[in-house]
Structure 1
Amino acid sequence: MSGPVLARRGFLAATVGLAAALTLSACGGGGATPAAPASSPAPAAQTWSFTDDRDKKLDLPKAPTRIVAQVGAAAALWDFGVRPVGVFGPHKLADGAKDPQVGNVDITKVTGLGNVWDEFNVEQYIALQPELLVSSMYEKGTLWYVPEKSKDTIEQVAPTAGIMLTGRTASQVIGKYEELAKSLGADMRGVPEAKARMAAATKELAQFKDIKILMVSGGADQMWVVNPPEYADIMHLTENGLDIVKPDKVDEGGFFQTLSWENADMYDADVILYDTRTQALTPEEMMKKPTFAKLPAVKAGRLYPWRAEAPFSYQGYADFLEELVTNLKKAKELL
């Protein structure tokens, strides 16, 4: 929540030059990673076009099949039936297990181009012969996890598409990924069932309108109170009946209010949802903070996970909402 940590190692600088890197991949040098299987076949259309959330219209002679995606975008596209050949961003934990951010993506079948902030192997990217790069955006025009210093080189290799995550609801974000997946010729198997599950779970949220909910993320020295309007998933919750605390004074950027752990009791709530992302403290770690441990919701056991990394797909949100509904039913019994 406090911002990505800079990578532990530097990147191939853009000054290496696109031509030199292309020569390297063409010659098979530098230990380039073999190409992974292509994504689902595209329809036999003569041309392909897609307008992304930068209002940028992409036009290609045919639908791209060799797609590289930031892990959040890859997770969404995977659930719609698109199989990227490469991913970048957090996809593997220190113990080798799959990072939750990458969702259902089979990381043994894709090439990893970088696992931390500011890490993107440009040589490997070129060797994959990508036809499209897809990334989410928190700020319009800035592709998440595409390093600024390598951006120009990366954008020369293949067209890029950006999907905006802020200023809209989860349904709108999911709809944009659905539009992209359809244009790429995804088979969309399982989508109608997952869409129905998401709709059913969404309907159930209204029964919890009288429960006040606080959403937080924990750090070593600070606690962050999440600001609902800045998160597509939380906007979906509030628009469908949940009463989620909005902090009085948000930090620059608008995503949260920073509190010391001594002030963890600033807001009253019946239920607390905690950030499950890998950089956030676990509930056990947060409960070692005395003020937090004394909160009525914590003492009563009404502390439940917030799956902030749920893929923007109907399947991802059906899973997220069904778990949340189950937990809020437990909370209602305890109130």
Structure 2
Amino acid sequence: MPSTARATSFSRRGLLAAGGALGLGAALVACGGDKDKKSGGSAESGTSGPWSFKDDRGTESKASGTPKNIVAFTGTAAALYDYGVEVKGVFGPTKTKDGKPDVQAGDLDISKVEIIGNVWGEFNLEKYAKLSPDLLVTDMWQKDALWYVPDQSKDKITKLAKNTVALWAATVSMPKVLQRRAELAESLGADLKDKKTVDAKARFEKAAARLRAAAKSKPGITVLIGSASADLFYVSVPKMSADTAYFEELGVKFVQPKADAQGFFENLSWENAGKYKADIIMMDNRSSALQPSALTSKPTWAQLPAVKAGQVIPRVTEPIYSYAKCAPILEDLAKAIENAKKVA
């Protein structure tokens, strides 16, 4: 899922652009709460009795009681919040330059969490240590790589937390990713039978059926997954990210770029941005990526068939993996396909 420059074996530009392209963070190798009345079920952290959870690395975390001082990657924290589990600190895109919540913060009240890092490579160890973290939670885009945990300080960060949980955000399909976040939330006190959670899952399943039907009714419509920087246009490989892998399973026809060695995407110069033709373009919505409104001066962008037809839609490149947040993503893509005209 990944983006821009800065190095490590899995280039930051690589991973960031991978998810959609830029923004995510960089090379991947860098890589409870009180009762919540607004989000779904109630979650009571620190309850009596032993707690354990096996993450997607196969690592089992254990504690004498449910963790209450949780620090998480922003998007994961937002997913937990939707289940009623609150965290004490976050790292990753949380606050925009104008002080508003980043798109990846979801419904989090960012004034009530300690922001330990807001951009790639930033992780304030002093703030983190003061929270006495019982549990550190983040995504995983590459095996054993902790998303947005700086590689140079990873050992110190993981040692300060009593337990660390890493969950896949790539190479597996969206339903599995959703299930794993729900399982973690439940272990931390969430009630998955809460009406809001049940209704959100039902909406997600209905949206999946709608997207499947839309793709079947418009078999000729082709979708390109894009992300933009000043110098490059990234075209992502659908099978590598959990969201687009699932859309493909549902029948959506994607452009299949020639991926680089890391397998996530192909980066094109703007002179070559027209290499692939598509009827719909899904553009990375992260704050780290250039948005379509900033691309009007690029002639090759303006000449793309989907752009000329007004068939460019946002892509939630790093979804907040709760049913409540993912259902609208499927609905929006279904609507775009239902309304799309064949232009490429």
Give the TM-score, by structure 1 length. Answer: 0.86
Q: Contact 1:72/1:101 (CA < 8 Å) preserved in 2?
A: yes
Within 1, Cα distance between the matches of 2:286 and 2:203?
A: 24
Confirm or deny: 8 A CA contact 1:100 1:309 kept in the other structure. no
- Count of equivalent residues: 305
CA distance in 2, matches of 1:333, 1:253: 32
Corresponding residue SS for 2:243: helix
Distance 2:288 2:129 in 1: 30
Counterpart selection for 2:210 from 204, 207, 213: 204
Once the 2 structures are TM-superposed, how far is the Cα of residue 303 of structure 1 from its aligned partner?
1.2
Q: Which residue of 2 aligns with 1:235?
A: 245
Q: Are 1:38 and 1:66, in contact at CA under 8 Å, matched by a contact in 2?
A: no
* Shift in Å, 1:332: 4.6
2:298 is aligned with 1:289 = yes
**Higher mean displacement: 258-267 or 323-332:** 323-332
The one-letter amino acid paired with 1:208 is: A
Match in the other structure for 2:177: 173
Q: 1:92 to 1:5 in 2, by over 3 A?
A: farther
Displacement of 1:67? 0.6
Shift of 1:147: 1.6
Which residue number corresponds to residue 116 of structure 1?
Answer: 119
> 1:293: how far off?
1.0
Q: Are 1:118 and 1:146, in contact at CA under 8 Å, matched by a contact in 2?
A: yes
Which residue of structure 2 lines up, in the alignment, with residue 97 of structure 1?
A: 100
Instruction: Report the residue type matching 1:144 in the other structure.
Output: W
- Structure 1: stretches of 5+ with no match in the other structure: 7-35
Q: Is the 2:174–2:242 Cα contact (8 Å) retained in structure 1?
A: yes
Give the distance between the partners of 1:60 and 1:302, measured in 2 at CA.
Answer: 50
One-letter amino acid of the structure 2 residue matched with residue 3 of structure 1:
T
Q: How does 1:145-294 map to 2 (within 5 A)?
A: 145-158=148-161, 159-188=163-192, 189=194, 190-206=196-212, 207-209=214-216, 210=219, 211-247=221-257, 249-294=258-303
CA RMSD of aligned residues (A): 2.1
Distance 2:201 2:137 in 1: 23
1:9 corresponding residue in structure 2: none
Gaps of 5+ in 2: 8-31, 36-42
Cα shift readout 1:194-249 (whole Å, capped 9, x = no counterpart): 111111111111222411111111111110111111110001100011001111x2
Instruction: Provide the secondary structure at the position in 1 that maps to 2:118.
Output: coil
C-alpha distance in 1 between matches for 2:127 and 2:231: 38
Structure 2 Cα separation of the partners of residues 87 and 4 of structure 1: 23
Of 300, 304, 312, the residue aligned with 1:303 is: 312
Q: 1: CA distance between counterparts of 2:132 and 2:173? A: 34
* 1:292 to partner: Cα distance: 2.0
Secondary structure of 2:317 counterpart: coil
Q: How far apart, in 2, do the equivalents of 1:57 and 1:244 lie?
A: 37
Is 1:58 the counterpart of 2:61? The answer is yes
CA distance in 2, matches of 1:65, 1:214: 42
- Percent identity reads 43
Tell me how far 1:280 sits from its aligned partner.
1.5
**Please, which moves more after superposition, 149-158 or 266-275?**
149-158
SS of the equivalent of 1:113 reads strand
- Rounded to whole Å, the distance in 2 between the matches of 1:88 and 1:126 is 13
Change (3 A) 1:333 1:197: farther
TM-score (normalizing by structure 2): 0.84
Higher Rg: 1
Matched residues in 2 for 1:52 and 1:139: separation? 14
